[in-house]
Chains A and B, each alone.
Chain A
Amino acid sequence: MNNRVLGIFLGAGLLLCLTIFLTSYANNVRLPGNNEGYEPVQPIAYSHRLHAGELQLACLHCHSDAGRSRNAGIPTMQTCMDCHKFVTAPILDIRAEDRRAAEAKEKPKRIVSAELHKLYAAMGLDDQLRPEPGAVPRAVGWIRVHELPDFVYFNHGAHVSAGAECQTCHGAIETMERVRQVSDLSMGWCVNCHRGSNATGVQGRAVAAPTDCSGCHF
């Protein structure tokens, strides 16, 4: 009696877990810690497709530390403001407003997109870019997409200065509306690239990418 209840209980549990497992991993069985495909919703719908793809901004324009620091760095809010002091909304929205104003024979209104409004709010500014009384500037907390465990040391500067393309690890970031992790960032994946680069060189130049444990683990 007792064991039968237990058996049913365990069986149901197994079925439930298998269902969850199979539905979420149908084509994609992976190890714990592998976050390939992770694509969180960010607090501001920033588009790499628009900035890096369509507008052709260089990666290092915003991620300026990538070539000289361990961290590529999320650009400071001030970096965004360098352009968005002037650009307050998508160009099509502004043109639409201009057309509307021309038809209605009035002065066009200032258009501020909902996403840029969040940026200005973070800087403690109102939509006219005047300091908002009582507002405390507070940086936006972006959701981190690519994350390595603490026991791995990774240095962006070393890779960028060796000539590695950002896309080698981050994928075709210039086509992504929202950033997605395209590689599994596993040790095998890292080491394969290091071995390959040592064999073929990077951008026609011989490199000495470490393949020892202490290249990354210390």
Chain B
Amino acid sequence: MNHDHHTGRDSGPAMGFNRRSFLKAAGFTLAGVMVAGCERQKVDKAIPFLVKPEEVIPGTSTWYASTCGGCTAGCGILIKNRDGRPIKIEGNPEHPLSGGGLCATGQAMVLSLYDSHRLQKPALRGKPALWDEIDRAVTGQLEKTRREGKTVRILTSSAPGPTALAAVAKFLTAFPGAKHIRYDPLSASAIADAHQQCYGRRFIPHYRFDRSGVIASFDADFLGTWLSPVEFTRAYRSGRPIDGMTPSMSHHVQIESRMSLSGSNADRRLVARPDEQYRLLLRLTALVDREAGRTPAVPDPGPDPRHEDEMRRLAALLNTARGNSLVVCGANHLPSQLLTAYLNHTLQNTGATVDLDAPSYCRTGSDAAVAELMAELDSGGVGMLIVWDANPAYDWPGDGAFAGSMKKAGMSVICASHEDETSHEATVVLPKAHPMEEWDDAEPVSGIVSVRQPAITPFGDTRSLTDCLHRWTGDTISDLEAIKNWWRAAFFPRRNTAADSFDTFWNDAVYRGFVRVNPAPAPLKPFNTSSLGPCGESGPRGGELVLEFYPTVALLDGRHAHNPWLQELPDPVTKIVWDNYASVSPATAAGNGLHRGDIVHVGLDGASLELPVVIQRGQADGTVAVALGYGKMGTDRFSSVGPEWFEGVRTVEPGELVGKNAGPAREFRDGYLANWRTVREFRGTGSARRLAATQEYDSLRMPAGLAPPDEERRPIIQETTLSAYLASRSAGSFPKPEIHTIWPDEYRFPHHRWAMAIDLSACTGCSACVVGCQAENNIPVVGKDEVYRNREMAWLRIDRYYSGEDGDLSVAYQPMLCQHCEHAPCETVCPVLATVHSDEGLNQQVYNRCVGTRYCSNNCPYKIRRFNWFDYSHGDDMQRLVLNPDVVVRERGIMEKCSFCVQRIQEVKIRAKEGRRPISDGEVKTACEQSCPAQAIVFGDLRDPESRISKMQSGPRMYRVLEETGTAPSIAYMTLVRNRGEEGGADA
């Protein structure tokens, strides 16, 4: 009886169960419990407020105007607060600089708020301490410093606003010889110093890209990371109105070595190594002067045969567009910046495209001052060093150089958001509040003053810089009072509104988030041509190979390294996530026998880096480009990101950091943090490492031999030039495909028909929309291994395509999201009707019906559907607080994709129904549309013939991607137009 006839094996001891019986019994019991347990209700509690704050309505959102603290550009933001927690940040449409756009880092700031690794409590000599103890220790040391005749130094980034600066100034007066040093790792020190020499005052002008018809940029990535990218992107876009009555576009020439975001958007892009750019700038200056009939003010290095034609063309263009052109330079190199200032002066751009009267305050740091500080520290003369919002031990040249000097200070007080390289070595560590936790102010550009208001009670026991300095000088005043007092003294008298009382003035500023006042009077000396003395004929020369350092749009100087959204944001050009790498040109890679992922040893004088290689088209030969901001202390936390399963590979191994820190490998040369330096040794180490990228196909062309004749170029991106477009509005259009459809007549949409238009001419690929979508729609972070398996979850991705030859490479960016096809291929194959069409034109994904067959994804020609292979945890449980309660969190085993932000559509519809009114055009804004600094995305109702979307979709540039498949997408793309300047003149 115990014999199993099928296997002939003994099925186990008598009276015991074998596996089958056990499963039978278990299944039966489970079924029984399920039937019996149906009625049991999960007890859930509803807990009301004791006393409700007046402005809070549970279940609805409250918006607060504030100022972004993601970098020092000070964009205006609106913080969406739901039930007491900020859950989304959007650009403030009224803000004079950012005008409603917000970059990827700004969008991601809301996640950093809920970072459980942030410092919560102050510490004294490595042990948690109370603020009273800290205050006693600090004031004691300050007293001692004064007694011993030593000095006090405060080192900050450019972030402290006007009130904090006033507090610093007041604090410094109490100590003889005390100084405030500002330090920006992404330094613009040379720009400010150049203006000091030319105009007698140290400042960075406010560049006006919107007024510029011709833009010449020498390695300034102004659309990506340089100074104020959101403002510049918006301005750049408004200087290129293609769809106006008379199409016109600025002409943008980028001279650069690596493929930057700005370079990939340029109308013409010249590839030059960083050490060649100075000579090109010098040559351009000489040519411009000659063209204007003057003797060149600087020595002429003579023509560079590779670029001479372009330089002559550019000089002629700049001269034609006097007062309407702009030269910018990203090199942190004084002679280059002197030449740039001279060019703008001689081209009469000052006062027009270069605003000197209301300068920018966003990067006021001085590199030389930091070097001087280190010398002072080494000499032992500094009794007290206060470091606020800066991490020089991480990003100053020389491994451990700053930390070593810092130890020689009598006492070092470091305020940091996380335990970092600098705070690690400090006597006193203070927790830094998140910018959304405290009152603060900012003045990114003279005359535009903005308020930062707290949107949540601080998580930690934090104090602001202003508060600390006040307390240490025996003052007790709240931050809010300090700000109001300073504004009353400094800004209220400069008001240009009709506000007659300070309260009106202040309340208006808090309501709007900013206020415009008259710029502080700043007398300048006339341009001093003799200051061009340092502009010698030969600039610095690198060796055979030079290493260039650059910031990424996501991590910047590394301050956002703890943010998983930004770590997983694909680089706009390489599309790589969770890593930095050594980027080289195809020729350089071939010359060294390197392939993608090979680890190379980059030997420098006194430093070295080991990084995987990425082969980047369009990069200058003989250069290696490495991103800053990686390898930051504490990023080993991400070893827990991503699913754990038997084949899973960790994002980083425990104890390992995300990427390598290139900061210490930088060089402090001639008084500046140089952007590049010579490589002494460059060789493969023999090992390799896999890199996770979200896009591995690059070309719009089909591989030779596969494509039918005349169809080598795939109809994905329509592109043309301005001159062709002016000749014919249909220039560059693909031939209309003949579509055979089995579908019945067009459906008449009874209420709305939602649709989107994306202008490829406007899109810069900055990826703000990607993070905006992630924040709005609760999209998880999946980790490096899952990205490697093409399982990233982003509903909106930006595809990047190359066309043309390596010498003249064109790049196109295409935001790709669910096309909401009218004849959607996904809908016909779903066996459970989990994806169906709505009567408003939406392709709906019904999560609770989906069983996860993935047929829909197979049948989607755009590959925008995402499958939840796992329950992707957020890694940090506290970061679940950022979830949008209006969007369901999808579970394992179901498909998801872009919903056209249907929750926003429903919200507006409900609001309109409540008000018994129709929905106005532009009232529904998707998250991607809202965040776009270039306003490349337009969403609306096609049923309204007067709506922007109706006009755009019937415009001449409109086309649909893969139209020949007959899917009839609701998203129309607009032809990418480049102003190549063939007619020998900018059309502006």
Is A86 interfacial (CB 8 A cutoff)? no
Binds B, one of A63-71, A109-117, A166-174: A63-71
Given contacts A6-B25, A213-B846, A218-B906, contact A69 B50 (CB under 8 A): no
Is A133 interfacial (CB 8 A cutoff)? no
Chain A nearest CB from B61 CB (Å) reads 10
| A218 with B888: CB separation less than 8 A | yes
Is B60 interfacial (CB 8 A cutoff)? yes
Given contacts A71-B59, A142-B47, contact A38 B25 (CB under 8 A): no
B357 proximity list for chain A (CB < 8 A) = none
- Nearest 6 A-B pairs (CB), nearest first? A17-B32, A71-B59, A70-B59, A212-B838, A141-B45, A69-B59
Partner of B49, one of A13, A20, A139: A139
Is B14 interfacial (CB 8 A cutoff)? yes
B15 proximity list for chain A (CB < 8 A) = 1-2, 5
Partner of A32, one of B34, B46, B50: B34
B35 proximity list for chain A (CB < 8 A) = 17, 20-21
| A218 with B899: CB separation less than 8 A | yes
Whole-angstrom CA separation of A149 from B848 in the bound complex? 10
Chain B residues proximal to chain A, CB less than 8 Å: 1-2, 14-17, 21, 24-25, 28-29, 31-36, 38-39, 41-52, 57-60, 751, 836, 838-840, 842, 844, 846-849, 886-889, 899, 902-903, 906, 910, 913-914
Is A199 interfacial (CB 8 A cutoff)? no
| B50 with A122: CB separation less than 8 A | yes
Residues facing B in A16-33 (CB within 8 A) are 16-17, 20-21, 24-25, 30-32
A138 proximity list for chain B (CB < 8 A) = 50
Given contacts A2-B2, A10-B28, contact A157 B838 (CB under 8 A): no
A31 proximity list for chain B (CB < 8 A) = 38
Whole-angstrom CA separation of A177 from B967 in the bound complex? 57
Partner of B846, one of A70, A144, A217: A217
| A153 with B847: CB separation less than 8 A | no
A197 proximity list for chain B (CB < 8 A) = none
Is A78 interfacial (CB 8 A cutoff)? yes
Interface size, A (range): 35 or more
| A68 with B57: CB separation less than 8 A | yes
B34 proximity list for chain A (CB < 8 A) = 32
Residues facing B in A128-168 (CB within 8 A) are 137-144, 147, 149-151, 153, 155, 157-158, 161-162
Whole-angstrom CA separation of A182 from B914 in the bound complex? 27
| A141 with B58: CB separation less than 8 A | no
A153 proximity list for chain B (CB < 8 A) = 886, 888, 903, 906
Whole-angstrom CA separation of A97 from B667 in the bound complex? 90
Whole-angstrom CA separation of A6 from B18 in the bound complex? 11
Whole-angstrom CA separation of A217 from B17 in the bound complex? 46
| B50 with A6: CB separation less than 8 A | no
Chain B nearest CB from A192 CB (Å) reads 18
Partner of B45, one of A32, A142, A150: A142
A144 proximity list for chain B (CB < 8 A) = 43-46
Given contacts A14-B28, A77-B49, A218-B888, contact A21 B36 (CB under 8 A): yes
Is A196 interfacial (CB 8 A cutoff)? no
A1 proximity list for chain B (CB < 8 A) = 1, 14-15
A161 proximity list for chain B (CB < 8 A) = 910, 913-914
Partner of B50, one of A78, A142, A155: A78
Is A121 interfacial (CB 8 A cutoff)? no
Chain A nearest CB from B918 CB (Å) reads 12
Q: Please list 5 pairs of residues, one from A and one from B, whose beta carbons are closer than 8 Å in the complex, sorted by A's number.
A: A2-B14, A2-B21, A17-B32, A24-B39, A68-B914
Whole-angstrom CA separation of A93 from B157 in the bound complex? 70
Chain B nearest CB from A117 CB (Å) reads 17
8 additional A-B pairs beyond A2-B2, A10-B25, A68-B57, beta carbons within 8 Å, are A1-B14, A13-B28, A17-B31, A40-B43, A70-B59, A123-B50, A212-B839, A218-B887
Whole-angstrom CA separation of A40 from B847 in the bound complex? 30
Chain B nearest CB from A150 CB (Å) reads 6
Whole-angstrom CA separation of A140 from B57 in the bound complex? 19
Given contacts A20-B36, A139-B50, contact A147 B914 (CB under 8 A): no
Whole-angstrom CA separation of A65 from B57 in the bound complex? 7
A38 proximity list for chain B (CB < 8 A) = 41
Whole-angstrom CA separation of A30 from B21 in the bound complex? 30
Is A76 interfacial (CB 8 A cutoff)? yes
| B49 with A32: CB separation less than 8 A | no
B913 proximity list for chain A (CB < 8 A) = 158, 161-162, 208
| B59 with A214: CB separation less than 8 A | no
Nearest-neighbor residue (CB-CB) of B42 within chain A:
A147
Chain A nearest CB from B754 CB (Å) reads 10
Whole-angstrom CA separation of A63 from B795 in the bound complex? 38
Nearest-neighbor residue (CB-CB) of B903 within chain A:
A218
Give the one of B25, B34, B59, B844 with max A CB within 10 A. Answer: B59
| B46 with A158: CB separation less than 8 A | no
B36 proximity list for chain A (CB < 8 A) = 17, 20-21, 24
